[in-house]
Amino acid sequence: MSARILDGKAVAAQIRSELASRAAAFTRRAGRQPGLSIVLVGDKPDSQIYVNSKLKSAGDEGMKATLSPLPASASLDEILSLVHRLNADVTTDGILVQAPLPDSLGTAAMQAVFDAIDPSKDVDGVTPANVGRLVQNRADLIACTPAGIVELLQRSNIDVAGKHAVVIGRSDIVGKPVSMLLLHRHATVTVCHSRTQDLPKIAATGDILVAALGRPGFVRQPFVRPGATVIDVGINLVTDANVAREIFHEGHPRRGLFERKGSVLVGDVHPEVAEVAGALTPVPGGVGPLTIAMLMANTITAAELRAGY
């Protein structure tokens, strides 16, 4: 058996075309485009790549996206005063502060910055107010990757109600919110983490298995119930030839890519899982494109709600 591949790119394209008409309708009515402001502190190359694709996507869908860059040497106070200025700017509907912040700011800085964002502009779903509303099942702005996962399941006609969903990972940005969303859709949810005992046995009881742990190729066949839907959230850049060769067999197209480029993107799920899963998201091209599409959806939702439409 070979798993049905859940094409995140195609689903994201469908969502984005719907958003383009919503953005056009907002622009006609409000006399301005929905506005997204992205704050980037420092010059981490992968953060710059993520930010550029968000800026491009916003432009493609008819939104006005602006980048507010700060140097890596910026203080927490400087970042907070930029966030306060964006909170007060009437043409900014959504604020996204790209994570992570430079290490020099310390571990508490990211949360302090998230806490400062006006919840009505919190298009990343990271403020305590929006996380609380998510728990109460009345959130308008939900963290983009978890929102994208449930959108992908729904648009792929995969039933969640009554199913057992196992989530590996309990981060604030993926594991916890996706668990909550699945629970609200009436799944029975088990959340696993690094202290979970007998992880493969628990994972293999899932009708739906969400892997969000950040370990390349970690989820192997014994973790997967035959026929289960497997959502691979992981995005891991592998540069170690031994790891790449262990994950991709000789002749696999992604192994060829590694041999040519010296690096390859790998999910948290090993490719051998495709032989037992019923459905599987690829990496790249699975959950990733949905994350950006849901950021755009949140920006338009924030614009509409702030305008009272």
Contacts of 111 (CB under 8 A, 6+ apart): none
User: Is 98 one of the catalytic residues?
Assistant: yes
Out of 64, 93, 98, 121, the active site residue is 98
Q: Indicate which single residue of 6, 235, 276, 297 sits in contact with ligand NAP (rule: CB under 6 A).
A: 235
Question: CB-wise, 25 or 173, nearer to ligand NAP?
Answer: 173
For the segment 130-149, give every residue that binds ligand NAP (CB under 6 A): 145
Closest distance of CB 19 from ligand NAP, Å: 17
Pairing relation of β-strands 188-192 and 208-211? unpaired
The piece of 66-74, 86-94, 117-125, 228-236 that touches ligand NAP (CB under 6 A) is 228-236
CA distances from 12 to 290, 291, 299 (A): 5, 9, 15
- Residue 54 tokens, joined: 């968000």
Closest by Cα among 257, 209, 213 to 234: 213
Site string for ligand NAP, 207-226 (x = CB under 6 A): -----xxxx-----------
Closest distance of CB 160 from ligand NAP, Å: 19
- Residue 167 tokens, joined: 């989530």
Closest by Cα among 268, 271, 296 to 151: 296
Closest CB to ligand NAP: residue number: 171
Q: Can you tell me the distance from the alpha carbon of 141 to that of 235, in angstroms, rounded to the nearest whole number?
A: 23
The dihedral sign for the CA sequence 258, 263, 264, 267? positive
Question: CB-wise, 196 or 221, nearer to ligand NAP?
Answer: 196
Contact flag: residue 168 with ligand NAP (CB under 6 A): yes
Site string for ligand NAP, 178-207 (x = CB under 6 A): --------------xxxxx--x--------
Q: Indicate which single residue of 12, 233, 269, 300 sits in contact with ligand NAP (rule: CB under 6 A).
A: 233
Closest distance of CB 292 from ligand NAP, Å: 8
Peptide bond into 282 cis (omega under 30): no
CA angle 18, 176, 268 (to 5 degrees): 80
Q: Indicate which single residue of 171, 188, 190, 221 sits in contact with ligand NAP (rule: CB under 6 A).
A: 171
Pairing relation of β-strands 4-5 and 279-280? parallel
Q: Can you tell me the distance from the alpha carbon of 211 to that of 114, in angstroms, rounded to the nearest whole number?
A: 25
Active site residues per annotation: 54, 98, 124
Positions in the binding site for ligand NAP (CB under 6 A): 145, 168-171, 173-175, 192-196, 199, 212-215, 233-236, 287-288, 291
